[in-house]
Structure 1
């Protein structure tokens, strides 16, 4: 997984209120025997603006309060089974967007800040392309085949799901990049591609087998999907409204497509404008605190960014609920205090190393001359840890800010689990109903395992679903209308085939991971998808499980950094991929896409994504080798993701010397235990005082964001919060008509214009496929790291150039 600042989304009351207002929809009471929602009209026109309530049995207004209300009153429970996704147009656009999304996501992996391809943007661009192809004249059988007019919602959902399945950067490309950059290894391309594909499809197989638990029940709302589904409905249900809103989209899209050339290439000073650094350009203190327009430069405090690529690097702030924005801002401010305190308090000898870095350093490093750890002195020819070399050269050091990130992240991991049990126990209990004895008995029945005999008949499955009150009404409707379910043995074959291919490639590329470690990694993936997938499906929480996987791998495979990385590929990548695929299965369910079409789209997208992830990784590593191995990188390319991945693999391979109790960085491990405790006081205070402040503060979110600034470009954070609070507080409260009509659509347009231009510039001028073409140097483009300067005029630390 690309290095990501910690963060997650929360599906609480704030979220539901936000999303209830995000779309106008209707419900057929005659067909589905449910009350119609109340639609409010504003601004004197006849366009429905938002839904905030439903009518109860007494004709009174009641707020939408649970997952079923959202699924039936915000999203239409109606369908046209005659619409077909099986068109040449759907496959052509799906494959094309899958290639685009996978290439773009891999490019973003090597950026100074982790950025994610917007699925909402893929939804809109897929619609625009589909409507364009629908203009092909329908003359003759061939042109009619190319244009089965009109472009329908099922085709659109098929395209979006295929592109979404590809829009990930496989963790396996991280280790392949690390092997080239740090171990002098270049695995066979064929074996490497099979490794990438098998690691992606393992999560797909697991997610498919667990879909009856993680996708089909009503309680598995997957709130992150609601904006995508409402956008799909808007685009395909109300052509009059769609026409004007798409006009707004394309105007904003075009503006960003032109504008982003300026901060990205011509005027990079706008990526992070720091008044403090412009006023004082000879202070490293100012650089550390106020600088942040380049990777690993500084904390970017009070810098202003005009570059949407970095403002929305981890998701547009226009989407986040006010609750999450508030708690994350508290964590962000505390992060600045924590990191400055660690560094200037010289905790863990921090001042002998860079302020921010993800590399390992040796004990000769000083503030004026940073000395990275020579891994060749620590590794045997077989890439195992050489104990004699370790004793001779000493235990490696990490930067203080990086240790601060590891501590707060580990605390946040366990604090999140405790917080959810304290505040969301009913949701968690319902989400884990599969652990109830009556459910576990089914696992012991032979019919549960003998899926190859055909399992239940379609009629048996139909009857069970329709009689189950916990099933999603949308899924019940699809079953009622005769949609054919994908047999479990399809997913089982994908899982078993991927396991076999993965096992073979591990030995073919000298991974050093034993077969039993490989199997244990996949067991971790299965268990983590089951538990954390349920949490994400119910509440919207998602957090990075990679550190705990690498810790387990370190203690299981001491002295084997490559084994640690490959264990993480399958133990963590399976979780990440499985969660995203469950999310997409829910999109298909709410969009009423046939299960077999969904299976085809996800399989195709996952394979395409894996192949093009590898191709782009190899291209960028070859052309940007020196920048990717440098401490700071540039404002265009950075190897900080690979550096972090390799650093943790080395560090956890000698966990007993670095992180165990009594070791230099023991608090990294102790933090897991502290995280179990920190949410409890606030919960007790709220329970016994009922003061709303204690309920509103979420320490698990705050802890995650206390490590937010450890890496990447930080000059965009002030702009991020300013835009987020403007949209979610001012517009939502005082301009609800504007908020409902345009907030999410404009956000998608901003993402789209930016991401298309970054894709073009990466190849045209940034050297993604060869030589870079720099814009002429001037006051707004001082040359950046290449001239030993920071683009925001903060003082460049000369030790970083060494």
Structure 2
């Protein structure tokens, strides 16, 4: 467990951070490691010596205690899960060092990264009773891994002529590995292809409609797994009802609200691109942020008045509004649909009442549980360390002590409702918008303080949910809680070091990383996630929400989305009570529907359309009409596609990217819709765009 767990954690941390800065970032889940370690585990069990050292003493141990078993495998996967996803605090480092070009030392970076990642253990310990023990909290993503554990460890009677699961994984892995040389190097256009733009290359309207990266993506196609899985995760692991909610949310926003808002010129939409996360002046030019940033890394109000107010695309503004709605919808949905259950669990906990236990919870009761004071100590230690860092390094972090405590309070309040949503739908609404909104009003003009508050408030909650998900996996697989706790803590600390080290290496070794104005054409190092994070720090931190969404701004009407989000779940609940025989009504999940496009931007139309197509084929067509194949191969295929793409991507970078070896031909012109980013208002002049 220690050898393969450490190897998996380090490798996934490196690969995920490596791909994070790319145009189509790839998130490699723990499923890839879960599958890949099986042959390595059996190899170690068959070759390592079984000699017992220090026999019959308190120090007795052996390197090979027996065959590679499923519980070792689960702990390795929990260890590896620490390296899956991303470390959100790296955004702060990238934004300050690369975009703002200000000082941010490695020591301060490592303090922020570790404290934000580990703080969530405290909330996880507090909410175990609500999010792990009840059977209703079933965590769909864990069932993917449980089915894989069974497939990989149970002996299978494979009929002659059929592939075993391991053979299928190896074949799919090799095919994915070999294929990615085309979208990754030889034919990048396969990432996003638009026949509409090819048919009408000089039409701005056609480019806006057809572009999968900078437009509505009508008719756009992609033949690249990373396009489908880069933002929403694997489409092969989504429950069908959640996929349907995401599809409805995407279609309403992308093909109803955005086109109507743009062509009605709401918020001067035609002055800017139809789909963009960039920051503009009133005339449609790129805003010079450095001109309003003074020597103390705060807003220069005189310079801001001279330059004029900041503008964003109407799509970007609407996406923030949808985020407002998703937040209030999450709270109201949990109160109406899960309020009674929460009340009963709280009552049984406070009054020490006996209640009917889930079968898994009852079987786990034979193990010694992790003491509650362990979690409390970790929580208090991290809060104290964060307070110290923010006070001692205030010139770099800007966040005052009360900001740290307020961020922790928000994380505590929202962990339970968002955890319930994720535990039942596999989709997780975020706190990022409301955190930056609150601190932006309370402490405006300080972008780093805004970013730190957002990360401490949002990611400590997200990390808590990740830890709780692992606890549930351990419960399904009957792993001793203290062993799970150990794997989580060590894996988290190790992944923090690898993530930050990899990011620091890339920022110092790739010239002009993230700067699209200086990078070579079609360079993959455009950092779309970090660009959006930086833009958000300007909007909410440097300028502040009052000058944007408040009484001093031009987008105050967006605040009505808060009310709309609160009303939407009530309407679903009333419809469910009025028509209880219509079971499909209860499957309408407004937090998921409204937060479906929460990753837009940086995600684009082609990411969603490709993801939805594959999710429909897997979760509906194959599950309904080829269920045996789906049960046997679906999740294994997902892991193999992730792993093959990852290894080829790193190989291409090490062999060709570092040496600057590239090719330039028609197939390297990604999307092929250069006019999609053009404004259509009269008299707006932008380079390489027609004037209307």
Same fold (TM over 0.5): yes
Partner of 2:196: 276
Residue-by-residue CA offset, 1:90-143 (whole Å, 9 max, x unaligned): 11111111111112222232233454222222211122322232332547568x
Residues 1:644 and 2:532 aligned together: yes
1:719 and 1:121 map into 2 onto residues whose CA distance is 21
SS of the residue aligned with 2:117? helix
Match of 2:255 among 336, 345, 354: 336
Shift of 1:407: 1.4
Pairwise mapping of residues 274-313 of structure 1 onto structure 2 (< 5 A)?
A: 274-292=194-212, 296-313=213-230
Partner of 1:254: 174
Partner of 2:560: 670
Contact 1:301 1:718 in 2 (8 A): no
Partner of 1:577: 463
Shift of 1:648: 2.1
Partner of 2:481: 595
2:648 and 2:344 map into 1 onto residues whose CA distance is 46
Shift of 1:753: 1.6
Which 10-residue stretch deviates more, 584-593 or 686-695? 686-695
Partner of 2:286: 371
Partner of 2:369: 485
Residue-by-residue CA offset, 1:294-346 (whole Å, 9 max, x unaligned): xx533322212110111222222222233222332233222133223333332
2:445 and 2:167 map into 1 onto residues whose CA distance is 58
Residues 1:504 and 2:388 aligned together: yes
Partner of 1:152: 69
1:220 and 1:93 map into 2 onto residues whose CA distance is 30
Residues 1:545 and 2:431 aligned together: yes
Match of 1:124 among 25, 28, 35: 35
Taking structure 1 as reference, are residues 709 and 569 closer, same or farther at Cα in structure 2, changes over 3 Å only?
closer
Partner of 1:759: 650
The unaligned stretches of length 5 or more in structure 1 are: 1-89, 443-466, 785-789
Taking structure 1 as reference, are residues 632 and 169 closer, same or farther at Cα in structure 2, changes over 3 Å only?
farther
SS of the residue aligned with 1:121? helix
Residue-by-residue CA offset, 1:749-775 (whole Å, 9 max, x unaligned): 222222332233344434xxx45432x
Contact 1:309 1:755 in 2 (8 A): no
Contact 1:303 1:716 in 2 (8 A): no
Pairwise mapping of residues 679-694 of structure 1 onto structure 2 (< 5 A)?
A: 679-685=569-575, 687-688=577-578
Contact 1:431 1:534 in 2 (8 A): no
Residue-by-residue CA offset, 1:593-621 (whole Å, 9 max, x unaligned): 22221111111111111111111222223
1:600 and 1:695 map into 2 onto residues whose CA distance is 39
Partner of 1:110: 21
Partner of 2:58: none
Number of aligned residue pairs: give it: 663
Partner of 1:323: 241
Pairwise mapping of residues 771-790 of structure 1 onto structure 2 (< 5 A)?
A: 771-774=659-662, 776-781=663-668, 784=669, 790=670
SS of the residue aligned with 1:300? coil
Partner of 2:57: none
Residue-by-residue CA offset, 1:538-566 (whole Å, 9 max, x unaligned): 55442111101111111221222211111
Partner of 2:267: 348
Shift of 1:224: 2.4
Contact 2:575 2:585 in 1 (8 A): yes
Taking structure 1 as reference, are residues 339 and 707 closer, same or farther at Cα in structure 2, changes over 3 Å only?
farther
Contact 2:217 2:605 in 1 (8 A): yes
Match of 2:104 among 172, 175, 187: 187
Partner of 1:79: none
Taking structure 1 as reference, are residues 129 and 558 closer, same or farther at Cα in structure 2, changes over 3 Å only?
same
Pairwise mapping of residues 582-731 of structure 1 onto structure 2 (< 5 A)?
A: 582-624=468-510, 626-630=512-516, 634=522, 636-653=524-541, 654-661=544-551, 663-685=553-575, 687-688=577-578, 697-705=588-596, 709-731=600-622
1:560 and 1:120 map into 2 onto residues whose CA distance is 40
Taking structure 1 as reference, are residues 198 and 704 closer, same or farther at Cα in structure 2, changes over 3 Å only?
closer
Taking structure 1 as reference, are residues 243 and 735 closer, same or farther at Cα in structure 2, changes over 3 Å only?
closer
Contact 2:208 2:676 in 1 (8 A): no
Taking structure 1 as reference, are residues 186 and 94 closer, same or farther at Cα in structure 2, changes over 3 Å only?
farther
TM-score (norm 1): 0.77
1:420 and 1:559 map into 2 onto residues whose CA distance is 35
2:424 and 2:191 map into 1 onto residues whose CA distance is 37
Taking structure 1 as reference, are residues 725 and 171 closer, same or farther at Cα in structure 2, changes over 3 Å only?
closer
Taking structure 1 as reference, are residues 714 and 108 closer, same or farther at Cα in structure 2, changes over 3 Å only?
farther
Shift of 1:628: 1.0
Shift of 1:259: 0.7
1:679 and 1:209 map into 2 onto residues whose CA distance is 27
Shift of 1:214: 2.8
TM-score (norm 2): 0.88
1:238 and 1:705 map into 2 onto residues whose CA distance is 39
